[in-house]
Amino acid sequence: MLDACLNPAMASEITLQPVRRHGVDAAIFFSDIVVPLRLAGVEVDIAPGVGPVLAAPLRGRADVDRLIEGARTLDADRLAPVAEGVARTVAALGATPLIGFAGAPFTLAAYLVEGKPSRDHFGARRLMHADPGAWTALTEWVADIAGAFLRAQVLAGASAVQLFDSWAGSLTLADYSTHVAPASTRTLGHVRDLGVPIVHFGTGTGHLLAAMRDVGADVVGVDYRTPLDEASRTLGGRTPLQGNLDPALLAAPWPVLEAAVRDVVRRGAAAPAHVVNLGHGVPPDTDPAVLTRIVELVHSVR
Amino acid sequence: MLDACLNPAMASEITLQPVRRHGVDAAIFFSDIVVPLRLAGVEVDIAPGVGPVLAAPLRGRADVDRLIEGARTLDADRLAPVAEGVARTVAALGATPLIGFAGAPFTLAAYLVEGKPSRDHFGARRLMHADPGAWTALTEWVADIAGAFLRAQVLAGASAVQLFDSWAGSLTLADYSTHVAPASTRTLGHVRDLGVPIVHFGTGTGHLLAAMRDVGADVVGVDYRTPLDEASRTLGGRTPLQGNLDPALLAAPWPVLEAAVRDVVRRGAAAPAHVVNLGHGVPPDTDPAVLTRIVELVHSVR
């Protein structure tokens, strides 16, 4: 998986396939949130059926310091496979825009602390309270790694970026604001001068939508749990949204799925703009024909 | 683990230990949400470091039908180890009340469908959309199993019950109301005539608090993500609350933890009544002395 992400021809081909097959209006660069960690020298792999697994989870301050001291800088050379993958993709896409991609500092730090996917990301949340200094050092380092990864994609031609704080939903608003938002703002600071739209997405983040916008996002991604009209109200009716069809509906009979798609489009009209998308990733066993049919439906009603 | 739950002397001893050690105001019966499934004949075990694992996850309608046809009825004989464990505990507790315990139909059904703990409980949520008939049959059966388990505990002397829908937070409000609430109401129907207070808890359920009350709960448990004053506002200021100290704070320096406990108590005062508790389970590596200190602090400020 990570080898494919760092193989420009392969990453480009995988990025292009859904555009060719389903006729979507934009592509998102095929990568993984741990790619910048791997490029920085962190020993990480994607275990089938599990997700990212790290050789040495961080146990405390000493581990954090060792990580940062031993890490490689993400300079242009190191990021070359990513930039080349993006450039190839942009050339092949023509008028269709490419969205760049990075994991946000909290989610990346949670992987570094837990060593693997976890429920509630308890180890990371404990570290931020037990040793806020170590937590700040860690998230600032991660913020810069993720920011460099995003910047390389925009400089190579990506038209927008999406920051994935997949696990932010495990945080209280108070902890997000104090212990996470500054690092996310720092990541986005790496691309702000480039002027591309910034999308910010998380799951289970109904209580964090405004805070996630206020780190510097132009568009807020909303998972399937929060209806878009409600999300738009929370955001004062002035923030474009992305989302939020429930992937669990992809296996439903078409009339049920069609009604759900129309409902998402209708509720999304409450926002000043709406990028139709799933409210989380595509499940591996999804019938691709269903995705094509959804794209056709959305194009027919817009 | 499941053997301990079904050994009356052992379940009673484990229930009593935290009462003796920390001086809490109530005990909660030591059990596991899958105990009633095991008693009904489902092949399930608790795998160390994983959680409940089922020999035969349900793949669709045929599996659901087979499960229900093959299941044992939870009559008084079958529930005798639970009733005896509760009766022993109540006798030993004296004036300290015992809270009975059961998993709610959605969470139990999610285990049955997924076969193990999962993120977002996708398989269960897919089944409710792909085959609502199978889903209804499954959750009605599970509702009665869980209800029988709760009723046995109250008849044996429990003074209150808590229904744990640990995973309900993965649901939209619409799905909760349509596909889950009727089964939870059915479970609570098994104990309503007994007149004991009913507590209903889930995690990540900030968007479901009113719906979870309205299945028939007297007290709503609130996980650490939603501040109690906000939860009380959501509930119209008329529902007693339980919760919600973030377990991630248990490893923080005492001044940080103390401030957090005082904040929980202060915000809880917005509700007509408040049972102080953690906002999720106790992490296994928690220093027990910290728990004792929290209990002392809460008793000193009430």
Q: Which domains does chain A have, with CATH numbers?
A: 2-221 (3.20.20.210), 245-302 (no CATH)
Phi-psi sector, A243: left (phi>0), alpha (psi -120 to 50), beta: left
Quote the ipTM score: 0.93
Closest-CA residue of B relative to A172 is B225
Percent of chain B with pLDDT over 70: 100
Rg (CA), chain A: 19
Give which of B171, B176, B225 to mutate to test A binding, by max A Cβ within 10 Å. B225
Residues of A in contact with B173 (CB under 8 A): 227
Which residue among A120, A171, A251 places its CB closest to the CB of B126? A251
Distance, CA of A63 to CA of A101 (rounded, Å) = 27
**What's the distance, CA A162 to chain centroid?**
5
Distance from the Cα of A143 to chain B's closest Cα (Å) equals: 23
Query: Which of A122, A204, A252 is facing B204, going by the closest CB pair?
Result: A204
pLDDT tens for chain A, 302 residues long, are 899 999 999 999 999 999 999 999 999 999 999 999 999 999 999 998 888 999 999 999 999 999 999 999 999 999 999 999 999 999 999 999 999 999 999 999 999 999 988 888 999 999 999 999 999 999 999 999 999 999 999 999 999 999 999 999 999 999 999 999 999 999 999 999 999 999 999 999 999 999 999 999 999 999 999 999 999 999 999 999 999 999 999 999 999 999 999 999 999 999 999 999 998 889 989 999 999 999 999 999 96
Q: Is B129 in contact with A203 (Cβ distance < 8 A)?
A: no
CB pairs < 8 Å spanning A and B: 73
The answer to whether the beta carbons of residues A156 and A84 sit under 8 Å apart is yes
Determine contact, residues A215/A235, Cβ cutoff 8 Å: no
Distance in angstroms (rounded) separating the CA atoms of residues A151 and B38: 54
pLDDT at A50: 85
Which chain A positions have a beta carbon within 8 Å of B256's beta carbon? 129
Q: What is the CA radius of gyration of chain B?
A: 19
Say if A280 is an interface residue toward chain B (CB within 8 Å): yes
Distance CA B245, CA B262 (A): 10
DSSP annotation of A294 reads: H
Q: Is the distance from CB of B107 to CB of B164 less than 8 angstroms?
A: yes
Residues 137 through 176 of chain B touching chain A, CB cutoff 8 Å:
169-175
* Record: contact A207-B224, CB cut-off 8 A: no
For testing contact with chain A, the best of B127, B131, B207 (most A CBs within 10 A) = B207
Contacts of A253 in chain B (CB under 8 A): 130
Contacts of B255 in chain A (CB under 8 A): none
Q: Do B248 and A224 touch (CB under 8 A)?
A: no
**Contact in structure between B114 and B40 (CB atoms under 8 Å):** no
Identify which of A286, A191, A206, A284 has the alpha carbon closest to the alpha carbon of residue A241: A206
Which token pair is A110?
């949670």
- Nearest-Cα distance to chain B for A244, in Å, is 11
Chain B hits for A249, CB-CB cut-off 8 Å, are 129
Per-residue pLDDT of chain B (302 residues), as tens digits, is 899 999 999 999 999 999 999 999 999 999 999 999 999 999 999 998 888 999 999 999 999 999 999 999 999 999 999 999 999 999 999 999 999 999 999 999 999 999 988 888 999 999 999 999 999 999 999 999 999 999 999 999 999 999 999 999 999 999 999 999 999 999 999 999 999 999 999 999 999 999 999 999 999 999 999 999 999 999 999 999 999 999 999 999 999 999 999 999 999 999 999 999 998 889 989 999 999 999 999 999 96
Residue from the list A226, A248, A252 with its beta carbon closest to the beta carbon of B122: A248
The pLDDT, as a whole number, for residue A302 is: 66
Question: What confidence score (pLDDT) does residue B302 get?
Answer: 66
Q: How far apart are CA B196 and CA B218, in angstroms?
A: 9
Selected for mutation to probe chain A from B116, B125, B126, B290 (highest A CB count within 10 Å) is: B126
* CB-count burial class (<10 Å; 0-12, 13-18, 19+) for B76: exposed
Name the residue among B177, B189, B116 with its Cα closest to residue B146: B189
The CA distance from A73 to A156, in Å, is 19
**Across-strand partners of B274?**
B241
Contact call for residues B149 and B35 (beta carbons, < 8 A)? yes
**Looking at the complex, does the CB of residue A51 fall below 8 Å from at least one CB of chain B?**
no
